[in-house]
Structure 1
């Protein structure tokens, strides 16, 4: 059992002693660092560090820990976070704490974030970090990740060999929708989103109204959706339906119906938004995550609500037309 597996399988009372941090890069060679308060007695006072914190009793995994910390400290919701390394950090009192490092991509403006702890957030390139006050282990982590990115092996699971990727990059674009130019053969990770297309007996589609303060699509109608963790897309769909709305989905009655491959803006992480229809389910939609969704409603496909997330509308139109694929944002 490796260090990550050991941490994830610790009893809850022991795992609370573990920490998680996020190694966030913007796809342009810069990394997001957090300037900590200059307060005696805290961990690494006055230093540049990674965002993160300790596991709390309600956290079911270290990924939940880092996602909670990112949201609480900066209002950040990173679509995909991948386990990268385990750092053994040593405090001023000699205490050693294991920190699970997750890597993720985000390309926003740090100054626009609602920072609740520390002094500021800023993008830095690895070559300027020797001039910063920061832990040598953190600097080494950044340099290691940057080198892996440069060589196309950043520690994440890849679905094809380098040869396959090069071949795919040379293929012509989709015949019906234009694509953006290739990025000089550089491998770019794509986030995977999973969405539930659910129809009732009257042919109405289930949509949720997202909380107005939600980081993504606040105040808009959207599918029941989530991001894949260490699981299959169908398993993610079943889990999210139960966690968000109390619905029990029969995995054997789930079918793939559409995908929207999208790019929100140049330089951001591309996303493959997969949509699945469930033919059988039990339960009535409930508000189980009020911080994300404030209402569930059924809508006729010809009278969808506004404002509706654009790619959700595109997916519904595609499903109704019998199309399996749409591209958005690539031109």
Structure 2
């Protein structure tokens, strides 16, 4: 049986892909253009709706992760062309309802009043037999630090920091690391700009690993190279330099951007 409308198609897809994500009101919002694999322009009807559920409770049958993201954190994500602008435009035209999503309410209820949630980043510090450090050159189109050298890094999802490190090393560079072979060697507490969400950047050193660095995610990194600590390439991310300097001098902690 064919769907009777675009809304019916969307509801069917939701029921197939994410059972439990039930949206009461769906309203046509925008008509976007996309290009099909054969080069033809295809109109895409975008709907908006409201859902206050917890992503952890739904049965995700397609895709790998379902999470809430605030519009001001979109630069951290790899999005299809135009999607970020569409979301920001919608957010500006439709201020959030007075009642935030259940998952957000849960976080606020658990945290003392005035608590500021931080983004946790995990970074891999590797030294080869010559004392050189592994850095990657980020893709020019990267939302963060394009054309700049940086640690192998990632953001913690719903996992421990060491589990995140192990996952990112495998996904980004094909490196196999065991939890018992890593130590936390430096932490950088970063505030990129006034009003920005604070970040805790954890740097772990792996003393043993298997494999040679490979370009597994070319949309993020275009080159892996080993660099002497006293001759880092230009440009290198500022807090990466600060962390390497701290490790070389035996410091465990650095603050950047705080007044």
Deviation at 1:103, TM superposition (A): 3.9
- Say whether the 8 Å CA contact 1:210–1:221 is kept in structure 2: yes
CA drift at 1:251 = 1.0
**Cα distance in structure 2, aligned partners of 1:229 and 1:108:** 15
Q: What is the count of residue pairs matched by the alignment?
A: 219
C-alpha root-mean-square deviation of aligned residues, in Å?
Answer: 3.8
Give the match for residue 31 of structure 2.
37
Q: Which runs of 5+ in 2 are unaligned?
A: 1-12, 22-27, 34-42, 52-59
Aligned with 1:143: secondary structure?
coil
Q: TM-score, normalised by structure 2?
A: 0.71
Q: 1:155 aligns with which of 95, 98, 106?
A: 106
CA distance in 2, matches of 1:296, 1:278: 16
Residue of 235, 238, 258 corresponding to 1:307: 235
Equivalence for 2:128? 200
Q: 1:230 to 1:48 in 2, by over 3 A?
A: closer
Matched, 1:214 2:109: no
| Change in CA separation of 1:18 and 1:260 when aligned onto 2, cut-off 3 Å | same
Correspondence list, 1:19-98, <5 A = 35-37=29-31, 42=45, 44=47, 59=63, 61-63=64-66, 83=67
Of residues 143, 151, 168 in structure 2, which corresponds to 1:240?
168
**Other-structure match for 2:37:** none
Rounded to whole Å, the distance in 1 between the matches of 2:87 and 2:74 is 18
Task: Please name the residue that 1:167 is paired with.
Answer: none
Q: Which residue of 1 aligns with 2:18?
A: 18
**Distance 1:321-1:20 versus aligned 2 partners, 3 A rule:** farther
DSSP-derived class of the 2:141 partner = coil
**1:186 positional shift:** 1.9
Cα deviations across residues 198-226 of structure 1 (Å, max 9, x unaligned)?
00111000000000000011000000000
- Give unmatched runs, 5+ long, in structure 1: 1-12, 22-33, 64-82, 84-101, 130-138, 163-184
Distance in 1 between residues matched to 2:69 and 2:170, nearest whole Å: 27
Query: 1:144 matched to which residue of 2?
Result: 99
Aligned partners of 1:19 and 1:62 also within 8 Å: no
Could you tell me the TM-score, scaled by structure 1's length?
Answer: 0.57
